[in-house]
Chains A and B, each alone.
Chain A
């Protein structure tokens, strides 16, 4: 019970201190809006292209929203030593890190619904499978946030966090099948696609919005969940090894 008081207060503090700050709110809305508008206009295929582009812009919004904010906020607190205050709290490290990441997960989920809201005016949502879309959005947000955490505990400077984030984000965008089908990638690149969490997320997003998924849903969700567990466990190990030296 006492650990949960700490959990809720860390989450509430992060929302007040970071996620609900006007620059982040505007960034969280404008960034997905810009991506969405850019892709919809650039595709040139008219409104028919909206369902095929929507999974991509949802994923981009989540990926950039979560990794940017989490990796920066954690690195910022580590640098300013306020993170030490959290490490000194008598709560399990797992609860502490879940509290630190919960805000970014919610921020990522909220970001995902910006392009969805925009697309609501442009496409027919009657064929969208919400039962798979929403869990996929949540799991993509969780895995992206934990990727941001992994990045945050691997660097010491805020600018390093941004650079290191891009090292993962951009290859992931082009290799995960969001904008080009994996089958069209060179054969030697394809195995790389299957070690990226977003590949499985993208497959569920496409499957929920405009076509059948290429992979079984159980495999997609199972792989996403496994990436979440692995990234979280690896980040905790890094915190214990690098921050409690």
Chain B
């Protein structure tokens, strides 16, 4: 099955309220055919609400959605034929084996027995789960569950795949494997709509990214264009013994051209449009009574762009990442 149009997903004026809360406030965006589109934002920004409306698990209050050229408000079931969904939780059936789960998901899309069994075997092999295929899903590790959930999402070879936080809460090795699988799927021609709050993940995988904050898309661009904002910026991070906030105040007073930020009590981050001279800064910090244990030049990242565009403090994103990493981490 292939999508006829050049735009795989077209969203116009999409709005959704839950009582007094405006979850999604009239957003517009397009995802091109064959693209891996990242949808980034902090918790509560409207990512999951948007994805739920797109896949048909929630109704919009306003706006239009076209998936593969099909108007979802008039023909949601036809649109569901074109899409695969990988939810943020592994929601397969614990009492069925991995193989049975995949076959069952294939049957939901009307696949004939022979086709779904053959495809299930192929996917188990592709995802490194052949040996586990005969075991009950309930006994899988978190990483294996995520992999099988992704396999279930693509059992019917959908041209468009929605992935909601695919690497949240799993161990580093599994997250890495999943990112490789996502990239492979996209190289194979699948359009992927990926929501995540791992900025590095989006930077590594996605061709274009939309930033959503408080239900509004604040910027949509290619990763290269977004990163261009950081061209000519110089960042140095100092590891200090203590009192980073106090040190920032004294640096700001002594070097007004520099932007200084206390990343933690023992880390000071300095930014400048000009190359940063480290010597005078180290002397200034040491004159203030603190010891410098390390000075490191940092490459500006997509996280810096995100912070600049959204105005959300890096600390907030860091907290969210750490909260997500409680179960493992990507």
Point out residues on A near B: beta carbons under 8 Å: 1-3, 5-6, 8-10, 13, 16-17, 80-82, 84-92, 244-245
Contacts and interface: CB of A to CB of B under 8 A. Distances in A.
Contacts of B80: 88-90
25 contacts: A2-B110, A3-B110, A5-B110, A6-B107, A6-B110, A9-B104, A9-B108, A10-B108, A13-B96, A13-B104, A17-B95, A80-B91, A81-B89, A81-B91, A84-B87, A85-B91, A85-B105, A85-B152, A87-B57, A88-B80, A90-B80, A90-B81, A91-B108, A244-B56, A244-B57
Contacts of B58: 244-245
B21 interface: no
Given A17-B93, A82-B92, A88 B110 contact: no
Interface in B85-121: 85, 87, 89, 91-96, 104-105, 107-112
Nearest to B18: A245
A1 B110 contact: yes
B309 interface: no
Chain B interface mostly? loop
A239 B259 CA distance: 54
Given A6-B107, A9-B107, A81-B87, A88 B57 contact: yes
A10 B240 CA distance: 61
Interface residues of B, number: 28
A89 B91 contact: no
B246 interface: no
B226 to A, nearest CB: 32
Contacts of B152: 85
Nearest to A83: B91
B119 to A, nearest CB: 14
A143 to B, nearest CB: 28
Contacts of A92: 77
Given A90-B80, A90-B81, A5 B111 contact: yes
B229 interface: no
Centre residue among A5, A8, A10, A86 by max chain B CB count within 10 A: A5
A245 B59 contact: yes
Contacts of B85: 88
A96 to B, nearest CB: 9
Contacts of B81: 90
A85 B110 CA distance: 14
A88 B56 contact: yes
Contacts of A9: 104, 107-108
Interface of B: 18, 55-59, 77-78, 80-81, 85, 87, 89, 91-96, 104-105, 107-112, 152
Nearest to A243: B57
A241 B111 CA distance: 29
Nearest to B82: A90
Nearest to B77: A90
A149 B239 CA distance: 61
Given A5-B107, A85-B105, A245-B59, 6 more contacts: A9-B107, A13-B93, A17-B96, A80-B94, A87-B56, A92-B77
B104 to A, nearest CB: 5
Contacts of A8: 107
Contacts of A81: 87, 89, 91
Nearest to B111: A5
B168 to A, nearest CB: 15
B1 to A, nearest CB: 11
Contacts of A85: 91-92, 105, 108, 152
Nearest to A4: B110
A90 B109 contact: yes
A17 B55 CA distance: 27
Given A13-B104, A84-B87, A244-B57, A89 B109 contact: yes
A80 B57 CA distance: 15
A82 B111 CA distance: 19
Centre residue among A9, A86, A88, A244 by max chain B CB count within 10 A: A88
Contacts of A86: 108
Contact of A90 (B78, B92, B105, B112): B78
Contacts of A244: 56-59
B91 A82 contact: yes
A17 B58 CA distance: 28
A10 B78 CA distance: 20
Nearest to B89: A81
A9 B56 CA distance: 22
Given A17-B93, A82-B93, A89 B108 contact: yes
A88 B77 contact: no
Centre residue among B58, B105, B108, B152 by max chain A CB count within 10 A: B108
Contacts of A90: 77-78, 80-81, 109-110
A86 B77 CA distance: 12
A244 B52 CA distance: 9
Contacts of B94: 80
Given A3-B110, A5-B107, A90-B109, A84 B91 contact: yes
A3 B112 CA distance: 11
Contact of B55 (A1, A2, A88, A245): A88
A87 B76 CA distance: 11
A26 to B, nearest CB: 17
